[in-house]
């Protein structure tokens, strides 16, 4: 589809009472503006122009970080003076030389709009017999929305704001969603005719509809199949409401694909996550960012994974993981913390109160409980005793630890990096290992135990 999307993200959103741009607020871990951009790209728009204004640097930073390295054509244009929606569109047209094809103008605070809706919306002006189309929807409660009044031939007659509605008009269920599709040539030709003769002295995009009608062009409306596509965010309460809708949509889709939810209302799966069939998701599980979960897994309860890849047949219980790879047949938790750079190979076990950072845990290796493993390369079949720590930081630099295959690390072993422990080696419990341990060797480091008879009685006597 040779269409362009102009996304208006210049508004301040004062009702959010925030120090940040309204469109930067996240739904399921993803900024609102990215939901709209992704929907436009998913609809086949070949160009996406984001008009920024308030907090321009913040919004531009989100766009650059998300789309800068991709092949998607997403760019930002700044509306330095915020003089209304028509002014924003005119700036976008002038900066990008858009003058043909369907142009859809979307709001950056409309995160639930779906690609199919945008595609169908753009197609209403693709044939050239309609100059502009208004996106409409039928909310459960139309109070506060402008009503769509149609002519006898089905074309758009007018949009009446709530305060101006007659009783008959107030009873109309079809409402204005605030988005518009234009024939690009007609938009370019007439956008300069929009005036600012109003109380706010701003240029309003809806005025284009009257201008086009006066020019003899046809104006229509397109009603969303799902009214939720037209819901916007203007407050924290609405942000929470739309987050719940997005959650329900995603979870319903995953259940249809073969994923089990113990309680779908208590699992928060981001829009970029994928989950394999026959995986079970327990309450208070969060998948944020580009998570990929395989088949036959059990996630949660109380698990938060961000940009984590999980293989098949894994159990991840009460775990926080960030930028981590878990291969197949892994058990993890409860109460584990997996930090960026962790890679856990097939069949390994990460137990209770374990923290792992920037380390590879070999096939079938075990870190069962109360341990910290950092900057470590661990072989296969290793067993880490309770309370063991890789002492990888000297106060200035981080240092590596290597542990060979089938090595047994005794409980409460301190491995002071840099240090290499060979294969089939053993360290005695309570040791502080500061030197390399050869393959097959036993490393024991502890002071001689002393027994002082009668100590408690003498201590009481001193009191």
Spatial CA neighbour of 62 closest among 35, 85, 80: 35
Q: What is the mean pLDDT of residues 66-78?
A: 83
Residue 254 in this model has a pLDDT that exceeds 70? yes
Residue 72 in this model has a pLDDT that exceeds 90? no
pLDDT band at 1 (very low <50, low <70, confident <90, very high): low
Would you please indicate which residues are annotated as catalytic (active-site) residues? Answer: 369
Q: What is the mean pLDDT of residues 144-159?
A: 83
Residue carrying the six token digits 């920024």: 52
How much is the pLDDT for 69? 63
Q: What is the mean pLDDT of residues 109-137?
A: 94
> Which runs of E-coded beta strand occur in 79-211?
102-107, 132-137, 147-150, 156-160, 175-183
How much is the pLDDT for 461? 87
Q: What is the mean pLDDT of residues 405-416?
A: 97
How much is the pLDDT for 70? 62
Residue 346 in this model has a pLDDT that exceeds 70? yes
Q: How far is CA 266 from CA 156, 386, 455, in A?
A: 42, 33, 57
Spatial CA neighbour of 305 closest among 337, 271, 258: 337
Would you state the structure tokens that stand for residue 165, as one six-digit string?
A: 């509605």
- The whole-model pTM stands at 0.91
How much is the pLDDT for 138? 92
**Helix, strand, or coil here: 111?**
coil
pLDDT band at 370 (very low <50, low <70, confident <90, very high): very high
Please count the other Cβ atoms lying within 10 Å of the Cβ belonging to residue 284. 15
What would you measure as the largest C-alpha separation in the chain, in angstroms?
108
């Amino acid at each position: 589809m040779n269409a362009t999307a102009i996304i208006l993200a210049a508004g301040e959103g004062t009702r959010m009472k925030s120090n940040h741009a309204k469109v930067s607020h996240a739904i399921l871990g993803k900024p609102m503006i990215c939901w709209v951009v992704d929907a436009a790209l998913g609809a086949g728009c070949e160009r996406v122009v984001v008009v920024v204004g308030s907090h321009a640097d913040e919004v531009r930073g989100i766009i650059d970080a998300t789309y800068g390295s991709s092949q998607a054509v997403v760019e930002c244009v700044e509306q330095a003076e915020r003089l209304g929606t028509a002014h924003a569109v005119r700036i976008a047209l002038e900066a990008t030389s858009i003058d043909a094809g369907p142009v859809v103008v979307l709001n950056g605070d409309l995160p639930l709009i779906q690609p199919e809706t945008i595609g169908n919306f753009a197609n209403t002006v693709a044939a050239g017999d309609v100059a502009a189309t208004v996106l409409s929807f039928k909310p459960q409660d139309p109070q506060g929305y402008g009503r769509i009044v149609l002519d006898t031939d089905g074309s758009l007659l007018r949009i009446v704001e709530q305060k101006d509605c007659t009783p008959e008009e107030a009873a109309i269920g079809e409402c204005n969603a605030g988005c518009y599709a234009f024939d690009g040539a007609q938009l370019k030709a007439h956008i300069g005719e929009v005036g600012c003769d109003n109380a706010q002295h701003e240029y309003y995009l809806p005025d284009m509809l009257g201008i086009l009608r006066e020019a003899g062009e046809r104006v229509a409306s397109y009603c969303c199949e799902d009214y939720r596509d037209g819901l916007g965010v203007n407050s924290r309460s609405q942000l929470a409401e739309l987050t719940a809708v997005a959650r329900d949509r995603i979870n319903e889709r995953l259940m249809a694909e073969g994923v089990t939810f113990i309680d779908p209302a208590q699992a928060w799966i981001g829009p970029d996550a994928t989950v394999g069939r026959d995986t079970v998701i327990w309450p208070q599980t969060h998948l944020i960012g580009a998570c990929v979960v395989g088949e036959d897994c059990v996630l949660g309860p109380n698990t938060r994974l961000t940009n984590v890849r999980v293989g098949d047949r894994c159990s991840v219980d009460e775990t926080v993981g960030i930028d981590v790879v878990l291969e197949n047949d892994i058990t993890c938790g409860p109460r584990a913390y997996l930090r960026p750079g962790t890679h856990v190979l097939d069949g390994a076990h990460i137990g209770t109160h374990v923290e792992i950072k920037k380390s590879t845990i070999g096939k079938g290796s075990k870190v069962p409980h109360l341990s910290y493993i950092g900057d470590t390369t661990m072989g296969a079949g290793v067993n880490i005793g309770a309370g063991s720590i890789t002492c990888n930081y000297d106060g200035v630099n981080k240092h590596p630890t290597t542990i060979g295959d089938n090595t047994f690390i005794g409980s409460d072993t301190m491995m002071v990096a840099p240090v290499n422990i060979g294969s089939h080696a053993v360290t005695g419990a309570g040791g502080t290992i500061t030197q390399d341990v050869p393959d097959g060797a036993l490393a024991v480091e502890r002071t001689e135990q002393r027994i002082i008879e009668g100590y408690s009685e003498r201590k009481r006597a001193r009191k």
